[in-house]
Amino acid sequence: MEQQTVTLTQLGWRPFFQQQLSLEELTELSIGRVVEQHRSHIMLLSEAGNIQLTLPPQSERICVGDWALFDDSNRLVRHLERQSLFQRKAPGSKVATQLIAANVDSVMIVCSLNHDFNLSRIERYLALAKEAQVEPVVVLTKRDLCSDVDDKCQQAQQLDPFMMVHAVNALDDESLQGLSAYCQTGKTVAFLGSSGVGKSTLVNGLMGFEAQLTSGVREDDSKGRHTTTSRALKWLPQGGLLMDTPGMRELQLSDCEQGVNDTFSEIIDLAQQCRFGDCSHESEPDCAVRAALNDGLLDERRLNSYRKLMREQALNSATLAEKRAKDKAFGKMIQGVQTASRKLKKNY
């Protein structure tokens, strides 16, 4: 991230973060924002320029977008409370959460208009955005390869009538003008989307130059090849900050029940009208959800998607809760052993 002089306001600083600082921290420590994240170190951008901080082995988890305090020796002191945070269950069988991005103002949910168009996948990202209380913006790419753009835009809009939906050709500058409002000075925009939907091409279009490598589209499934491999903040010509993330090929929800409920709010409203509070919406009498299905007021795909995401987040959340409980018990056991050892040494 290259810029000679920068103010905290340009980086997205606001009263929410200022109020977390003590007078001592304001006078003795420096403030920076994490613009790059690596395994052993992070890169901060501050009013003094770029700063590289080595992360100690047992340091608190930190991610791109965080605000951090550091001392004169370039040692990380702490990061500030986040205004928003995107996280997910870590890919594979590992029982842990993975931090994606912090302090984002708008998240652009990118989906292509070719064979990759998938409403259920968009709903997953919507659940993440709503859980983090970040404004979701759906960006449908590759409109030049689609013959029914208006129909697919309408399908996406029906997921949330208050959500902005943009259909773009990332190779056409005029087509991208509608996204400029989200990219102004002090604003941070994140990109979420599966591999090959054209995120890198979209980033290059907004940046005005080829900031990221892109790959062609495979003819057998209309999917591009995954090209983004790291998370970083980049300056936009409009003055804002852009955070592009690697394609999430294993997006799994955890601790995201509120986000799922907000994404499917019409189902939640209907469920409150059922005769039974624990209605499964299968065969119970006076089920408002089943009635809405029969009357054509609710799409069965939508109900199935809601059920799937709720099962997934419940399973992952339960697994994570079990891990936390085991870690806590293990910590108490270690503490007990250390206490007993100190007593023995004292007696001898």
pLDDT tens digits for range 145-160: 899 999 999 999 999 9
217, 112 contact by CB (below 8 A) = no
Over residues 47-71, the pLDDT tens digits come to: 999 999 988 777 788 999 999 999 9
Please say if the pLDDT value at position 228 is more than 50. no
215, 202 contact by CB (below 8 A) = no
Give the count of beta carbons closer than 10 Å to the beta carbon of residue 286: 11
Please say if the pLDDT value at position 94 is more than 80. no
Separation of alpha carbons 95 and 99, rounded Å: 13
What percentage of the chain's residues is helix, strand, coil (to nearest 5)? 35, 20, 45
Separation of alpha carbons 97 and 324, rounded Å: 11
Burial 237-275 (b: 16+ CB within 10 A, else e): ebebbbbbbebbeebbbbbbbebbbbbbeebeebbeebe
Give 324's pLDDT tier (boundaries 50, 70, 90).
low
Looking at residue 226, its pLDDT comes to: 43
- Mean pLDDT over 89-118 rounds to 83
Residue 77 or 326, more confident: 77
This prediction has a pTM of: 0.78
Please say if the pLDDT value at position 82 is more than 60. yes
Q: Could you tell me which of 52, 46, 110 has the C-alpha nearest to residue 245?
A: 110
Separation of alpha carbons 299 and 180, rounded Å: 34
For 157, residues 6+ apart whose C-beta sits below 8 A from its C-beta are 163, 165
- Mean pLDDT over 198-214 rounds to 75
Burial 80-109 (b: 16+ CB within 10 A, else e): bebbbbbbbbbeeeeeebbbbbbbbbbbbb
- Least confident range from 72-81, 266-275, 326-335: namely 326-335
Residue 220 or 79, more confident: 79
Give 101's pLDDT tier (boundaries 50, 70, 90).
confident
- Least confident range from 145-149, 280-284, 329-333: namely 329-333
Max alpha carbon distance in the chain (Å)?
A: 84
- Mean pLDDT over 8-13 rounds to 96
Looking at residue 347, its pLDDT comes to: 63
Looking at residue 212, its pLDDT comes to: 55
Looking at residue 283, its pLDDT comes to: 87
Please say if the pLDDT value at position 30 is more than 60. yes
∠ CA 53-55-9, rounded to 5°: 45
- Mean pLDDT over 254-267 rounds to 91
Looking at residue 314, its pLDDT comes to: 83
Looking at residue 330, its pLDDT comes to: 53
The DSSP letter of residue 30 is E
Please say if the pLDDT value at position 264 is more than 50. yes
Percent of the chain surpassing pLDDT 70? 79
Looking at residue 304, its pLDDT comes to: 95
Residue 304 or 116, more confident: 304
Looking at residue 141, its pLDDT comes to: 93
Q: And the tokens for 161? A: 């009538």
Looking at residue 116, its pLDDT comes to: 82
- Mean pLDDT over 261-280 rounds to 94
302, 127 contact by CB (below 8 A) = no
